[in-house]
Amino acid sequence: MTDLPAIIAYQGVPGAYSHLSCRKAFPELQAQACHTFADAMFMVDSGKARFAMIPLENSTAGRVEEIYRLMPKTKLHIVGEHFEPVNHCLLALKGSDIAQIKTVASHPQALAQCYDNLNDLSISPIASLDTAGAAAELSENPVQGHGAIASSLAAELYDLEILRENFQDKSGNTTRFMILARDSHMPELRTDTRFMTSIMFTVRNMPAALYKALGGFSTNGVNMLKLESYMASDTMRVSSFHLDVEGHPAQKSMKYALQELDFFAKDVRIMGTYPWHPFRLQDDQIIE
């Protein structure tokens, strides 16, 4: 893996929250912006990047559905996860006062998450394609009285002033990213480390197939943390699943659970095994 370019790809424009996540997780790598998620994944698949930082779910907006459609089409592996708290910042031109701001642009989701604060300040929202793009537009076409809602990194890159941090109405909004690589990396089992294993599979066409496929995890005491269903074909007849479980394939309980999964499911693919991100271990933020 070290012979690959020291690049981590992400979808979006410079200053996006995905870019911020790349900088925090891999400050030694060059972050490369891509137009689409597929473009970012292809950079890794073709050996033009070492990793891709791809959002999987958000605590407010839910899952990123497009990723579930893309993953079965790739041969990439999950080698880690990253949790990024979303800190929306109210940005404006240098020297601006918050009382001067009359309009603000950002992604509709960010605008919705800041609705109460915008309303309290009598600021009119303007929808944009993305948060960092709104900041870039403000920098390129400076207009007094106009602002943007984006990350602190966007303020740095586009030379804008942060008028207020944590501008969202509610705290705790967090995005979970998965870190993708071209080659698999099975970490050594350690008793002092909690592991996550991500699995994709399709159930067989039989009564109670999903119940039976997952039963092995219950009977063997393996904690299932996430189960997502999605249509993996255009026929609308076959449901596939993304499953996150706490455990390492080298553990005896996981071996037995995976044997039962293989019996009742098909197209079983272990996407990766990786240590829990520290965010999961915070005393007030245990995600189980």
Residues 33-60 have a mean pLDDT of: 95
Nearest alpha-carbon partner for 41 in 14, 3, 68 = 68
**pLDDT for residue 287:** 47
Q: Tens digit of pLDDT for each residue in 236-259? A: 566 789 999 999 999 999 999 999
Q: Tens digit of pLDDT for each residue in 122-181? A: 999 999 999 999 999 999 999 999 999 999 999 999 999 999 999 999 888 899 999 999
Residues 88-110 have a mean pLDDT of: 96
pLDDT reading at 212 higher than 70: yes
Q: Tens digit of pLDDT for each residue in 255-287? A: 999 999 999 898 999 999 999 999 998 754 544
Provide the CA 97 distance to its chain's centre, in angstroms: 34
Residue 27, amino acid:
P
**pLDDT for residue 1:** 57
Provide the CA 250 distance to its chain's centre, in angstroms: 27
pLDDT reading at 68 higher than 50: yes
Split at pLDDT 50, 70, 90, the class of 288 is very low
Cα–Cα dist 224/227, whole Å: 8
Helix (H) or strand (E) holding 217: helix 209-219
Catalytic residue among 51, 167, 177, 201: 177
Residues 3-26 have a mean pLDDT of: 96
- CATH code linked to domain 89-164: 3.40.190.10
pLDDT reading at 232 higher than 90: no
**pLDDT for residue 104:** 98
Of how many residues is the chain composed?
A: 288
Residues 55-79 have a mean pLDDT of: 90
* 175 a catalytic residue: yes
Q: Which residues contact 184 (CB under 8 A, 6 or more apart)?
A: 77, 79, 272
**pLDDT for residue 217:** 96
Provide the CA 9 distance to its chain's centre, in angstroms: 13
Please report how the helices 252-264 and 209-219 are oriented relative to each other, as an axis angle in degrees rounded to 10: 170
Q: For residue 56, give the 3-state DSSP assignment.
A: strand
Q: Which CATH number fits domain 195-280: 3.40.190.10, 3.90.700.10, 2.40.100.10, 3.30.70.260?
A: 3.30.70.260
Residues 15-28 have a mean pLDDT of: 97
**Structure tokens that stand for 169 in this block:** 């109405």
Domain spans in the chain, listed from the N-terminal domain onward: 7-86+173-181, 89-164, 195-280
**pLDDT for residue 206:** 78
| Residues 17, 86 contacting (CB under 8 angstroms) | yes
- CATH code linked to domain 7-86+173-181: 3.40.190.10
In this structure, what are the phi and psi dihedrals at residue 110, rounded to the nearest 5 degrees? -65, -40
Q: What angle do CA 156, 160, 166 make, to 5 degrees?
A: 80
Cα–Cα dist 74/77, whole Å: 9
Catalytic residue among 51, 83, 175, 195: 175
pLDDT reading at 224 higher than 50: yes
Split at pLDDT 50, 70, 90, the class of 234 is low
Split at pLDDT 50, 70, 90, the class of 113 is very high
Q: What angle do CA 103, 107, 113 make, to 5 degrees?
A: 85
**Structure tokens that stand for 24 in this block:** 């925090």
Residues 103-110 have a mean pLDDT of: 94
* 219 a catalytic residue: no
Mean residue pLDDT of the chain comes to 92
Answer whether 89-164 and 195-280 agree in fold.
no
**Can you tell me which residue has the tokens 């997502």?**
228
Cα–Cα dist 62/149, whole Å: 20
Residue 215, amino acid:
G
**Structure tokens that stand for 223 in this block:** 């904690």
Q: Tens digit of pLDDT for each residue in 194-204? A: 999 999 999 87
